[in-house]
A and B are shown apart, each in its own frame.
Chain A
Amino acid sequence: MRRVEMEREMNKIVKVAVIIPCYNEQDNVLAMFSEIKNSKYDNAYFVEPIFINDCSTDNTKQILVSNNIHHLSLPVNLGIGGAVQTGFKYALRNGFDVAIQMDGDGQHPPCELEKIISPLLNNQADVVIGSRYISNEGFQSSWLRRVGINYFKWLNKKLVGVSITDSTSGYRAINHKALQVVSEYYPDEYPEPEAIVLFVLNNLKIQEVPVIMRERQGGKSSIRAYKTVYYMFKVTLGTIFLYIRLKFNGKRHTI
């Protein structure tokens, strides 16, 4: 550990783990990989894309293996939260300074990566969320989803007093301090809005930066219309119980 820190001090190279959870994303992984690899980053960054194959039933795994893409393969399907947490654990154990989550469907353009991690490196925040509703540019999602996002904005504001314009955004970066929190506990299903409460109550500073998102490049979204009601219900319950657990029970993360 000490040697790694000394090297880092000397070279000032920031190790960035790009965590891409993918479930049945055979049409997207290769394009995502080459886009991340071919994007130009500042010399101070070492950007390493890590795909988390959440036990896909299509050819995602074969594509990852045959193209020699760095990936972790889960033996059972854990859902997006469990998959992302695997990446967080990996980043923490392998000495990464920053972990950035990016959806596997191509909605999150890698060229915005530096914009998202720079507040972390300037110590302005511990968690940075890329929001499409600050400058309102690019793909804006369906109206139903926007209703949900406004609801979560209200819920988070009521509970922990922070106003996040795009709480369902999965394009977010976290620093080492936040990595320790999320590898302890991270919600399984639809983790994004719930995680905001987790961050705030663990005294992590959240900042939002405007990003331009695209429409998904192929495949299907994990949130489909008939699941919306379940989604809202589950996230509301999860958020409230997480709030109660952290607020009144100290930092006990059991189930």
Chain B
Amino acid sequence: MENVIPYRLQIIAIILAVIFMFFIFRLIFKGKLREEYSFIWITCTAFLLLFSIWRNGLDVIAKLLGIYYAPSLIFIGALFAIIIFLVHLSVVNSKQHKQIKDLSQEMALLKEKLESDKKKE
């Protein structure tokens, strides 16, 4: 199980992980990604980087957990992360839904006040 991943592939994996991390940081710097959402992406890239450098990591952890086929650990982990992130997005969505509702109501009330004040003058 020593040379599961050839060196060439490892280098490509590291380069891709670094590019991805750079891309995420750039989005944060430019203000296109809020810090609270960037957290999960930074964690993701950290994992990518970790496993592209530590080549046997996946096997070691899979063995520890008693997973026979190591790559299935990736699927389980990724699926779990995606589901959690989707729930998080739904929560954010619901919060924004309420905020939009409150804002539109305030706007309608203010517009009416403006109109009625204008009429009084």
Contact = CB atoms under 8 A, between A and B. Distances in A.
Given A255-B94, A255-B97, A255-B98, A75 B104 contact: yes
Interface residues of B, number: 13
Contacts of B112: 71-73, 90
Nearest to A81: B101
A39 B1 CA distance: 88
Contact residues of B: prevailing secondary structure: helix
A212 B3 CA distance: 83
Contacts, number: 39
Contact residues of A: prevailing secondary structure: mixed
Contacts of A101: none
A86 B109 contact: yes
B26 interface: no
Interface residues of A, number: 17
A188 interface: yes
A225 to B, nearest CB: 27
B95 A82 contact: no
B104 A74 contact: yes
Given A72-B112, A76-B104, A255-B94, 7 more contacts: A72-B111, A73-B108, A74-B104, A75-B107, A76-B100, A93-B109, A255-B95
The 9 closest A-B pairs by CB, nearest first: A72-B108, A86-B105, A255-B94, A74-B108, A72-B112, A76-B104, A75-B104, A82-B101, A74-B104
Interface of A: 52, 71-76, 78, 82, 85-86, 89-90, 93, 188, 254-255
